[in-house]
Amino acid sequence: MATNTLVSPALTSDASAGLRARIASITSPLGRFPLGAHQLLFRLAIAGVFLKAGLLKVMSWQSTVALFRDEYKLPVFPPEVAAALGSTFEIGCSTLLVLGLASRLATLPLLGMIATIQFFVYPDAWSEHLVWASILVFLLTRGPGAISIDRLIGLERGENSPAPTSR
């Protein structure tokens, strides 16, 4: 036997308000996690990907050149030049990101590499490239954070620092 139960809109509203308040009390402390810690973790994560790739290229140079010649087949650059540029940017920019030095600038060659790889080499790997590019775009637009040499030497200002004024 089926029974129809009517629930008052006031009870539903009170219950959902209570649930929203409980969720807010649980999630509110998460919003206080320092942004600088996120930025440091992002820098280390993306640097780990590219540094490992660059070091592998350098450790096995003949295989790397063959890979660029036979599989990657990039337009414009000869395989030797493309391999040298790729490994230099991977190692150099990763090092800068780990240190938090010239961080915004260091993201640009890596974003260019991701675009090149996506369009010319591995177009089906878009989901992985999207993750990498998202992290790099975040660092490009938000900077390296408080835990960086850029902040220490004044290349990046803190959240509470006044904006530079022009005279």
What is the arithmetic mean of pLDDT over 116-120?
A: 95
Residue-wise pLDDT for 26-63, tens only, equals 888 888 889 999 999 999 999 999 999 999 999 999 99
pLDDT at 11 over 60: no
Pick the more confident residue, 19 or 104: 104
3-state SS, the chain, equals: CCCCCCCCHHHHHHHHHHHHHHHHHHHHHHHHCCHHHHHHHHHHHHHHHHHHHHHHHHHCHHHHHHHHHHHHCCCCCCHHHHHHHHHHHHHHHHHHHHHCCCHHHHHHHHHHHHHHHHHHHCHHHHHHHHHHHHHHHHHHHHCCCCCCHHHHCCCCCCCCCCCCCCC
